[in-house]
């Protein structure tokens, strides 16, 4: 269960980082947060991840420090995009963000929004709650 949550967080980070040209704003914000928080690209980690995917294997687990840094970058990202204000999710902004609602089935969208409304994101590690809501409603 824990590794699944980590994979979701890292998958979103990778998706946002390597999105197509229409997503330059997201990429720029993510990079700005990563730079501010000292998260540096790790070519070796990326290579290990890609090789594992190509072989259909489980990618290597990140360290707890890497996970926490990624969580902090995600929290910064959500704050800078206006998706998080204080400790609360800004539902009207989330609804506009294709990365966060794009794959949620229409019949589950209300449950997803209700789940997000109930969240409090105070610490970096709380960011995983957003992805837990998405996973349970996709």
Residue-wise pLDDT tens digits, 51-97: 988 999 988 888 899 899 999 999 999 999 999 999 999 999 988 88
Looking at residue 122, what is its pLDDT?
97
18-59 pLDDT tens trace = 444 436 678 889 999 999 999 888 888 888 888 988 999 988
d(CA 113, CA 108): 9
Report the C-alpha gap between 39 and 20 in whole angstroms: 21
- The CATH number assigned to the domain holding 90 equals 1.10.238.20
How many folded domains does the chain comprise? 1
Question: What pTM value is reported for the model?
Answer: 0.74
pLDDT (tens digit, 9 = 90+) per residue, 1-18? 455 455 454 555 555 444
* Predicted pLDDT at 102: 80
Determine the pLDDT at residue 10. 53
17 is in which domain, residue-wise?
A: 2-136
């Amino acid at each position: 269960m824990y590794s699944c949550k980590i994979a979701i967080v890292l998958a979103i980070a990778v998706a946002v980082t390597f999105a197509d040209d229409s997503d330059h704003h997201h990429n720029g914000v993510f990079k700005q947060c990563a730079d501010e928080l000292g998260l540096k690209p790790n070519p070796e980690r990326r290579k290990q991840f890609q090789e594992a995917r190509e072989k259909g294997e489980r990618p290597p687990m990140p360290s707890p420090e890497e996970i926490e840094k990624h969580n902090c970058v995600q929290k910064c990202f959500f704050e800078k995009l206006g998706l998080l204000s204080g400790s609360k999710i800004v539902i009207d902004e989330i609804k506009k963000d294709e990365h966060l609602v794009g794959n949620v089935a229409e019949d589950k969208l209300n449950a997803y929004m209700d789940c997000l409304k109930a969240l409090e994101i105070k610490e970096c590690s709380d960011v995983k709650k957003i992805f837990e809501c998405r996973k349970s409603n996709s």
